[in-house]
Structure 1
Amino acid sequence: MRRPFRFELTIFAFVFLLSTPTVVYADRGMIPIQPEVSVYEPGQKAIIAWNGREEILILSTDVLSNGETFVLEMLPLPSNPSRVELASFKSFEEINKKIWGRGFKTYGERSLKVEEGVEIVFREKIGTHDITIVKAADTSELVRWMTVFLRNSNITKEVSLQNFEPVVEDYMARGFRYYVLDIITVSPEQRSVEPILYRFNTSFLYYPLKITSPVGGNTQITLFILTEGSIQDGYHPLRMAGYQTPNGWEPIKIWLSSGELSKIDIRIGGLLNDGAWLTVLTYNGRLDALTDDLMIAEEAITPTNQGSTPLGFIIALSVILGATCTLAGVVTTFLIMRSKERAKHQTH
């Protein structure tokens, strides 16, 4: 049974490497009519589909360590997500195909002692992910519970959560009560972790950035955003990605039909069944510079009706055309009658 939503928000989170820091790097060339983003570059990648009421968030993170170790990903959530499911990297590849195609076309279960105030609401192994969702209202209780959680998960490395307490406290103060804990194993070879899909109610588009600030180091973030309206500007420190063409820079803004969205993920096609705009926001820099979350209200998204004509417009156009045809018929009849009358007078 779904729990009531305290208010409509969501967030994705930060990565703990339980032994060595995460290393993220990128090396890109630039050729004419080439998009500035690629799903094959290392870093955080997310597909965010939002219809004004509900959001689907597909997350994929590339991580690398100097030896085999565990990674704990934490996602603070203000409500219990209605879906937590395995997704596919093919979703990102399908978006990549759309971006490149448009560019060239257009421009050339373990038992745990539950701390008082911490409640486990979900526990499941999904692919390589060992996911636990807890509900908590106090930062210190959550941190104590996480210490026991890691120990009971056979993670013997000492993990310091002290640097994250102020950030978690901030989310607690803003009403976030649900926290997703995802344990995965990382090998020395850099790889993309199997994407996970989260679906939840939210009154505005949201992607967390601030929660990553205590980690330190550099990162690259690429957000593929799908909305019914068009996003007009970048949101600092994120910037809008575009195409580098022989004639200059052009933003990536692509209208996708419901069928095209379903090729990305059938669940996204169902969420945005009238089609959506694809916009890409990116960040490349230090994690400690991410002091605000991405929050886009519905009012900030320009309404569009790409691919369909409004019913009111069709009715109005039909009325105008009908009236025009009627008037033309009356005028034609009048002219014929006058012509016959003139001919009759000439006969007499």
Structure 2
Amino acid sequence: MRGRGMYRRHFVIVALFLLVIGAYFPLVHADRGMIPVVPDVSVYEPGQKAIIAWNGQTEIMILSTDVFASNETTVLEVLPLPSSPEVEAASFDSFEEIQRLIWREGISQFAYKSYEEARGGSIEIVFHEQIGSHNLTVVKASDVQELVEWMSGLLAGQEIALSDYEEAINHYMERGFRYYVLDLITITPEERSVNPILYKFTSYFLYYPLVISSPIGGESRITLFLLTEDRVDINGDHSPFQTVYYKIYKQGWTTQNPIQFVLSKGDLAKVDLRIAELFSDYAWLTVFEYEGNLSQLTRDLMISENDLNAEENSVGNFIVQIDLQTNLILHTLLGAACTLAGVFSTYLIMRKKQKNNQD
């Protein structure tokens, strides 16, 4: 009995050890092998990262940028927007939650197959606030030269060259953009992620500005996590971005599936409650990425409702599949219950016969 007790104890310890190992190192099992499923994206890579949620009328953009310089200096980031934004603090936790949801989907998917006043003119300050390390000013402008001159006055003594930005700003002025977010931050030689800022504004297209970054130049990586009511058509022209994929390594060869799936209202709330409020029920997550020289950026990302596959939205199929899986589980449980009932009935009959024989 003691040996049997020791055996059981060892078995329990080994089982718990395997459960712990399985929890910390989730591998996907299929076709009797272990197939690592790796989403080819990380929120910890240096570069620009943005979560962009758009419901057809309103966009929320949570923007985070990794910055560094050879010496401590002050830089100005300019963000052209199609309408006046609400500007609030955000958290990097939102990006970490997106990363966690992408990993979760990959596993489940493949396991089962201070500022100066404006100087008049066309410049109007509509918002200013210090949020963490960000000195944020939102201005409304309609003249390129006046905006550049106003920015030069704002940055007096900061030794920031604006001449390279004039052409890029003119690009947006000609397209009717009138609102510009000016973000003045101090950076150091150590690369770090600046605390994310949330922008909420009216837009009839999903939007992320790129041309404004072209004067900066240099190699960078831009990762966008898009949240939309319907599925983004990844076969459309969204250059310079490319769709990011799950990479599946199996028996010496590699296959891939796009990172594109449905997030529930609860999932969206975990990312950011303000994002969850944009959507009535769920949202599609799609991941885009660009890696290259910023000077090559000649167009912004703009996605209209025509670029969404509402008619091919497979949420219905997704729900049906869940129902089928649920039905399968219910049928399995029902079958097991019937089997147990049969075994128990047989046991009772045999006991009754045995008792009669004894009598």
Question: In structure 1, what is the equivalent of residue 70 of structure 2?
Answer: 66
Q: Structure 2: how far apart are the matches of 1:208 and 1:94?
A: 24
Shift, 1:232, TM fit: 2.3
Q: Structure 1: how far apart are the matches of 2:74 and 2:115?
A: 17
Shift, 1:192, TM fit: 0.6
Q: Structure 1: how far apart are the matches of 2:256 and 2:185?
A: 39
1:98 corresponds to which letter in structure 2?
A: L
Specify whether residues 110 and 63 from structure 1 end up closer, same or farther in structure 2 by C-alpha distance, changes over 3 A only.
closer
Contact 2:123–2:139, Cα closer than 8 Å, also in 1: yes
Shift, 1:138, TM fit: 0.5
Contact 1:115–1:141, Cα closer than 8 Å, also in 2: no
Once the two structures are superposed, residues 210-254 of structure 1 have per-residue CA deviations (whole angstroms, 9 ceiling, x without a partner) of: 111111111100000001111121611100001110250110012
Select which of 115, 120, 129 maps to 1:124. Answer: 129
Shift, 1:159, TM fit: 2.4
Give the 5 Å matches for 1:319-338.
Answer: none
Contact 2:115–2:154, Cα closer than 8 Å, also in 1: no
Shift, 1:160, TM fit: 2.1
Contact 2:74–2:158, Cα closer than 8 Å, also in 1: no
Shift, 1:305, TM fit: 6.6
TM-score (norm: length of structure 2): 0.73
Q: Structure 2: how far apart are the matches of 1:110 and 1:225?
A: 33
Check if 1:212 corresponds to 2:216: no
2:47 corresponds to which letter in structure 1?
A: G
2:304 corresponds to which letter in structure 1?
A: A
Question: In structure 1, what is the equivalent of residue 296 of structure 2?
Answer: 289
Specify whether residues 147 and 232 from structure 1 end up closer, same or farther in structure 2 by C-alpha distance, changes over 3 A only.
same
Select which of 315, 326, 332 maps to 1:306. Answer: 315
Question: In structure 1, what is the equivalent of residue 226 of structure 2?
Answer: 225
Shift, 1:309, TM fit: 10
SS of residue matched to 1:230: coil
Once the two structures are superposed, residues 282-340 of structure 1 have per-residue CA deviations (whole angstroms, 9 ceiling, x without a partner) of: 00001111101111110110113726999xxxxxxxxxxxxxxxxxxxxxxxxxxxxxx
Question: In structure 1, what is the equivalent of residue 187 of structure 2?
Answer: 186
Q: Structure 2: how far apart are the matches of 1:203 and 1:171?
A: 16
Q: Structure 2: how far apart are the matches of 1:131 and 1:207?
A: 18
SS of residue matched to 1:271: coil
Shift, 1:166, TM fit: 1.3
Select which of 102, 105, 119 maps to 2:105. Answer: 102
Question: In structure 1, what is the equivalent of residue 262 of structure 2?
Answer: 255
Q: Flag as ranges the 4+ runs of structure 1 deviating above 4 A.
A: 307-310
Contact 2:218–2:293, Cα closer than 8 Å, also in 1: yes
Select which of 38, 54, 57 maps to 1:50. Answer: 54
Contact 1:214–1:288, Cα closer than 8 Å, also in 2: yes
Q: Structure 1: how far apart are the matches of 2:262 and 2:116?
A: 48
SS of residue matched to 2:155: helix
Question: In structure 2, what is the equivalent of residue 16 of structure 1?
Answer: none
Question: In structure 1, what is the equivalent of residue 239 of structure 2?
Answer: 236
Q: Structure 2: how far apart are the matches of 1:309 and 1:102?
A: 13
TM-score (norm: length of structure 1): 0.76
Select which of 149, 168, 182 maps to 2:154. Answer: 149
2:39 corresponds to which letter in structure 1?
A: P
Select which of 239, 245, 248 maps to 2:248. Answer: 245
Contact 1:115–1:144, Cα closer than 8 Å, also in 2: no
Structure 1: give runs of 5+ residues left out of the alignment.
1-30, 311-348
Q: Structure 1: how far apart are the matches of 2:69 and 2:120?
A: 32
Greater helix fraction, Structure 1 or Structure 2: 2
Structure 2: give runs of 5+ residues left out of the alignment.
1-34, 320-359
Contact 1:240–1:251, Cα closer than 8 Å, also in 2: yes
Structure 1 window deviating more from structure 2 (72-81 vs 213-222): it is 72-81
Structure 1 window deviating more from structure 2 (160-169 vs 42-51): it is 160-169
Q: RMSD of the alignment, in Å?
A: 1.8
Q: Structure 1: how far apart are the matches of 2:82 and 2:54?
A: 17
Select which of 138, 146, 149 maps to 1:133. Answer: 138
Shift, 1:113, TM fit: 4.4
SS of residue matched to 1:279: strand
Select which of 67, 72, 92 maps to 2:95. Answer: 92
